[in-house]
A and B are shown apart, each in its own frame.
Chain A
Amino acid sequence: MKETPLSNCERRFLLRAIEEKKRLDGRQTYDYRNIRITFGTDYGCCIVELGKTRVLGQVSCELVSPKLNRATEGILFFNLELSQMAAPAFEPGRQSDLLVKLNRLLERCLRNSKCIDTESLCVVAGEKVWQIRVDLHLLNHDGNIIDAASIAAIVALCHFRRPDVSVQGEEVTLYTPEERDPVPLSIHHMPICVSFAFFQQGTYLLVDPSEREERVMDGLLVIAMNKHREICTIQSSGGIMLLPDQVLRCSKIAGVKVAEVTELIQKALENDRKVRKEGGKFGFAESIANQRITAFKMEKASVDTSNIEEKAEEIIAEAEPPPEVVSKPVLWTPGTAQIGDGIENSWGDLEDSEKEEEEEEEGGTDEAVILDDTKMDTGGISDIGSQGVPIVLSDSEEEEMIILEPDKKPKKIRAQTASAKEKAPSKSQVKRRKKKRAAN
């Protein structure tokens, strides 16, 4: 099935909301959604829920012969699958780009960071090593698959227990779980991916984007870090330009988030270990509440409902009434009409303000000279105006419109194309011109 297209009004609304620092589910810019970790009855099986995004992770192991160039190291194998129940757009054989990208990122995050001690997986050098296989299945897609998948992978690896092996000389004994307790894997650190979504060419940033936000984002930055603030992987996609200080800021935020998530993972692992030790019930069935229909359950959305009346009233009070535009065209000659007055010739105003500025700014020694200049200039311009000869001021950005009338003098009307900002350059131009004349 094709995925539902994103309508223009949704896109516009989302971008406007992000500009106002509002998210659809009421989170703040740097907030994660609720993370829930549940374990199955087998060791190495877990489900991680990041909001509504759900990933199932399962770890299994097997004794195989090692790779030829790495005779003393175990083998790690990671696989993420996007199940068809995750989103209507996921069809077998359809989502290859996204799948390849996610798998590659997960591999870099977990394998290249050497978070698992592969040397400890060796049983007999060159002959038998453990092959650890991590299978991740995406069960529901509500944005930010990579974060949920990385958490599921590392949690499953931490939870997993492999059968105990003892080597005595040439004899290798593999114990079943009944004979000897299975042994956990040796894990050095826990790399966790944190995703940052960028909007409006890098102006706005959101942590843990939901599915809607992912549709309208410009680019994505994924930083994989562990709680010791070591960056394991960093990847930027989408082709946006990021400044170095933006990336540094993101890495600082990622450090904070990873510390929180690692703490949560430790707590969850600890809880599960306690329950298993005390002989209580564990597994997925226990994590679903009894006597309650889960289809009628919904997470609370923390939408800020305060200050709405005040804000609305403010907006109404400050909204100006629509301007009354009355158009009365004035016909000067056949073929030439004028609507409105335009802006008056404000050369005179400029002179006055210039004089004031110069008197304030400059010191005493220059004052006398400049004042003389300005007096000269005002005289000059007024003379010119009376003569009626149009002066073309080449530096001016404002065009002077001259209406030629049969009997009267030509009226100079400046078509107001400049805003207040442009008056500043014209001021400086006036200054320059004055100094030139002074030089002359």
Chain B
Amino acid sequence: MDHRMGEPLVQSRLFGDGRSTYDLYGLVGRITSNSKSPQPPERDNPGGWASLCGSGSRIPEAATTPAMAEVLSVTADSVARCQARAAHKVLNQVVLPGEELVLPEHDDVDGLGGAGEQQLRLNAGTRPRMRVICGPGLRRCGDRLLVTKCGRLRHKEPGGGSGGVYWVDSQQKRYVPVKGDHVIGIVIAKSGDIFKVDVGGSEPASLSYLAFEGATKRNRPNVQVGDLIYGQCVVANKDMEPEMVCIDSCGRANGMGVIGQDGLLFKVTLGLIRKLLAPDCEIVQELGKLYPLEIVFGMNGRIWVKAKTIQQTLILANVLEACEHMTTDQRRQIFARLAES
């Protein structure tokens, strides 16, 4: 059948409301890929946001100024007095770099015996400690957690026996490549066997031409300079140049690869991207109800969006950029107005 540009959008529109349209292109992988199988981040990993997007705790909206000021004054006091606070008391509050947090001690919960019975322990002196994972914005410092970024402290309850994850929710526009992140990159050079891809970090990432689905030495992928690539970072640390691939560990593309022509690429803050990629994000669901669209979120702050007409694409881009600064009510008003017109 003769396939023309714009064809699928027409067909999907005829099928009903826009909600299911992005499923038709198999883009579910792209949108929710960051919340699939959460791998626990490495200890002392300054990055590692990918798994945390799948956290259960909803990230609330920004606090109003008086509350913020109060909280800031409390933290400032504690920092001034160089006291370490208990981590579980500071949850969802603003922490500043340099603060130390004390992890709660874990009491014996084996209620086998009564009050008088005591367990015999091999290591009688030490108490058992929970395994706590410190996420982005925190660093281990002896027994304690040292805060390295300013933001709100979050905690995720563990499923298994370990103590859970602590991290700091901070806001940032500049991206630092992190292993495991799915990012949108722009191809800037082709040299020999690799493409140089700009992901917004200090160095361009290298992408081998074999790292595409179905690519062999004879069958090279059709990638030009200036194309957009959606891929995953496999090597990203401060000592080496980052490397990315467009293929997962099983050899399947899974939504990664060259992003099609047309559409608009724009940049937002990293915090907004994480908010949009959280599971059950209202914004994405409401967007899907408005028009049929294709959308790709990169953890480096880049969003690629494509709708049927240029005007719709522009509206979507402006709405997403504005979502950063709008409260929930304002956003609902805007969506209601767009849905009417």
CB-CB contacts of A280-296 with B at 8 A, as 1s and 0s? 00000000000111001
Q: Evaluate contact between A12 and B262: CB separation under 8 angstroms.
A: yes
CB-CB contacts of A7-34 with B at 8 A, as 1s and 0s? 1111111001100101011100000000
Is B119's beta carbon under 8 Å from chain A? no
Q: In the assembled complex, which residues on chain B have CB atoms less than 8 Å from the CB atom of A311?
A: 309, 311
Q: Evaluate contact between B227 and A24: CB separation under 8 angstroms.
A: no
Q: Evaluate contact between A12 and B341: CB separation under 8 angstroms.
A: no
CB-CB contacts of B306-337 with A at 8 A, as 1s and 0s? 00111111110110011011000000000001
Shortest Cβ gap from B341 to chain A (Å)? 5
From A11, A303, A325, residue with most partner B Cβ within 10 Å:
A303
Q: Evaluate contact between B314 and A303: CB separation under 8 angstroms.
A: yes
Is B102's beta carbon under 8 Å from chain A? no
Q: In chain A, what residue has the closest Cβ to B4?
A: A322
Shortest Cβ gap from B237 to chain A (Å)? 20
Q: In chain A, what residue has the closest Cβ to B200?
A: A4
With known contacts A9-B261, A316-B10, A26–B314 Cβ distance under 8 A: yes
* A7–B261 alpha-carbon span in the complex (Å): 10
* A20–B324 alpha-carbon span in the complex (Å): 28
Q: Evaluate contact between B311 and A22: CB separation under 8 angstroms.
A: yes
Q: Evaluate contact between B186 and A5: CB separation under 8 angstroms.
A: yes
* A12–B228 alpha-carbon span in the complex (Å): 13
Q: Evaluate contact between B226 and A304: CB separation under 8 angstroms.
A: no
Shortest Cβ gap from B175 to chain A (Å)? 11
With known contacts A298-B322, A312-B291, A322-B1, A7–B310 Cβ distance under 8 A: no
Shortest Cβ gap from B202 to chain A (Å)? 8
Is B83's beta carbon under 8 Å from chain A? no
* A81–B129 alpha-carbon span in the complex (Å): 58
Q: In chain A, what residue has the closest Cβ to B62?
A: A296
Q: Evaluate contact between B1 and A4: CB separation under 8 angstroms.
A: no
For the A-B complex, the count of residue pairs with Cβ-Cβ distances under 8 Å equals: 106
Q: In the assembled complex, which residues on chain B have CB atoms less than 8 Å from the CB atom of A8?
A: 224, 226-227, 261
Q: In the assembled complex, which residues on chain A have CB atoms less than 8 Å from the CB atom of B264?
A: 9-10, 13
Q: In chain A, what residue has the closest Cβ to B69?
A: A291
Shortest Cβ gap from B336 to chain A (Å)? 12
Is A392's beta carbon under 8 Å from chain B? no
Q: In the assembled complex, which residues on chain A have CB atoms less than 8 Å from the CB atom of B312?
A: 308, 312
Shortest Cβ gap from B257 to chain A (Å)? 14
Prevailing SS type, chain A contact patch: loop
Q: In the assembled complex, which residues on chain B have CB atoms less than 8 Å from the CB atom of A306?
A: 341
Q: In the assembled complex, which residues on chain B have CB atoms less than 8 Å from the CB atom of A305?
A: 315, 337-338, 341
Shortest Cβ gap from B182 to chain A (Å)? 17
Q: Evaluate contact between B309 and A7: CB separation under 8 angstroms.
A: no
Q: Evaluate contact between B314 and A17: CB separation under 8 angstroms.
A: yes
Q: In chain A, what residue has the closest Cβ to B2?
A: A322
Shortest Cβ gap from B35 to chain A (Å)? 26
Is B265's beta carbon under 8 Å from chain A? yes
Q: Evaluate contact between A323 and B2: CB separation under 8 angstroms.
A: yes
> How many of chain B's residues have a CB under 8 angstroms from any CB in A?
47
Shortest Cβ gap from A22 to chain B (Å)? 6
Is B3's beta carbon under 8 Å from chain A? yes
Q: Evaluate contact between A9 and B7: CB separation under 8 angstroms.
A: no
Q: Evaluate contact between A7 and B186: CB separation under 8 angstroms.
A: yes
* A298–B337 alpha-carbon span in the complex (Å): 19
Is B188's beta carbon under 8 Å from chain A? yes
* A315–B9 alpha-carbon span in the complex (Å): 11
* A323–B4 alpha-carbon span in the complex (Å): 10
Q: In chain A, what residue has the closest Cβ to B202?
A: A1
Is A97's beta carbon under 8 Å from chain B? no
Q: Evaluate contact between A308 and B1: CB separation under 8 angstroms.
A: no
Query: Of B14, B202, B259, B311, which contacts A9 at CB under 8 A?
Result: B259
Is A319's beta carbon under 8 Å from chain B? yes
* A293–B94 alpha-carbon span in the complex (Å): 16
Q: Evaluate contact between B4 and A7: CB separation under 8 angstroms.
A: no
Q: Evaluate contact between B65 and A315: CB separation under 8 angstroms.
A: no
Is A68's beta carbon under 8 Å from chain B? no
* A135–B262 alpha-carbon span in the complex (Å): 43
Is B198's beta carbon under 8 Å from chain A? yes
CB-CB contacts of A109-152 with B at 8 A, as 1s and 0s? 00000000000000000000000000000000000000000000
* A131–B226 alpha-carbon span in the complex (Å): 49
With known contacts A17-B314, A305-B315, A308-B315, A322–B7 Cβ distance under 8 A: yes
Shortest Cβ gap from B301 to chain A (Å)? 11
Is A301's beta carbon under 8 Å from chain B? yes
Q: Evaluate contact between B2 and A325: CB separation under 8 angstroms.
A: yes
* A191–B2 alpha-carbon span in the complex (Å): 58
Is A6's beta carbon under 8 Å from chain B? yes
Is A297's beta carbon under 8 Å from chain B? yes
Shortest Cβ gap from B7 to chain A (Å)? 7
Q: In the assembled complex, which residues on chain A have CB atoms less than 8 Å from the CB atom of B3?
A: 322
Q: In the assembled complex, which residues on chain B have CB atoms less than 8 Å from the CB atom of A12?
A: 261-262
Q: In chain A, what residue has the closest Cβ to B334?
A: A305
* A158–B238 alpha-carbon span in the complex (Å): 51
Q: In the assembled complex, which residues on chain B have CB atoms less than 8 Å from the CB atom of A25?
A: 318
* A301–B322 alpha-carbon span in the complex (Å): 9
With known contacts A296-B62, A312-B291, A322-B2, A303–B315 Cβ distance under 8 A: yes
Name 6 extra pairs, CB < 8 A, besides A9-B261, A312-B309, A322-B4: A7-B228, A9-B262, A12-B261, A22-B314, A26-B318, A305-B341
In the A-B complex, the 7 residue pairs with the closest CB atoms: A8-B226, A322-B2, A298-B325, A7-B186, A301-B318, A13-B264, A303-B318
20 cross-chain CB contacts under 8 A: A4-B186, A6-B226, A7-B186, A7-B265, A9-B228, A10-B265, A13-B262, A16-B310, A22-B314, A26-B318, A298-B321, A303-B318, A305-B341, A308-B315, A309-B341, A315-B308, A316-B10, A316-B13, A319-B10, A322-B4
